[in-house]
A = this chain, B = another copy of it.
Amino acid sequence: MLRFMASVNAPDLKRADARRNRRRLLDAAIELVLEAGAEPSRDAVAKRAGVGIGTLYRHFPDREGLLRAVVLDVLDRTIEQGESACEESRSGGEALRRYAHVAIDTGLGVVSILRPLLDTPSWPDRQAAARQLLDRLIGAARSDGTIDADVTATDIALATIRFCRPLVIGLDPAAERATAHRQLDVYLDGLMSRPSGTP
């Protein structure tokens, strides 16, 4: 039903190698943005993706194109996976917890890192959708009683940014992810077990 909207971000490329390379480029860019906390060089993106520099320029002719595609990709995947994690959950608290873990895996943090660099008025819909999802989760967890009323969407958003950046750059990615998820769980435990009114 929204098929054509999805195609804005992920055009229906005919050839398999083109689709594969596009995905590799996006993944590489996400990694590099999270590592550096800034816009990566194009050469670095192509190298990390394991494709030629020419391929990068064919897929994303201008600088902003790549970064916009990255943000859109991350938002889409977060919303999609977040929704389904949400559906599988039995309580508001569990749903919120699952969403946060999803956000780490999708690399949601790139959005806040990249937004200041992009003067684009192009994806209010996607941002709004992500925001609504989060608000819904917060509401559910609140009525569950698993989080206090003073826990805001911003708290969760800031935490996911923090936890989806790599800790020490040379580290094994698997160990990196495992640490992030473990630390996030502890953080969420902290949020969810606070006696009301703790400053």
* Interface positions of A (Cβ within 8 A of B): 35-38, 112-113, 116, 158-159, 161-163, 165-170, 179, 183, 185-191, 193-194, 198
Contact = CB atoms under 8 A, between A and B. Distances in A.
6 contacts: A36-B36, A36-B38, A37-B37, A112-B168, A113-B168, A159-B183
Contact of A189 (B112, B116, B167, B190): B190
Nearest to A163: B162
Contact of A169 (B35, B37, B170): B37
Contacts of A169: 37-38, 113
B165 A165 contact: yes
Q: How many copies does the complex hold?
A: 2
Contacts of A37: 35-37, 165-166, 168-169
Contacts of A190: 185-191, 193
Contacts of A179: 158
Contacts of A189: 189-191, 193-194, 198
Nearest to A188: B190
Contacts of A185: 190
Given A37-B168, A116-B168, A162-B162, 7 more contacts: A36-B37, A37-B166, A38-B169, A158-B183, A186-B194, A189-B190, A193-B193
A18 to B, nearest CB: 32
A116 B167 contact: no
B170 A183 contact: no
A158 B167 contact: yes
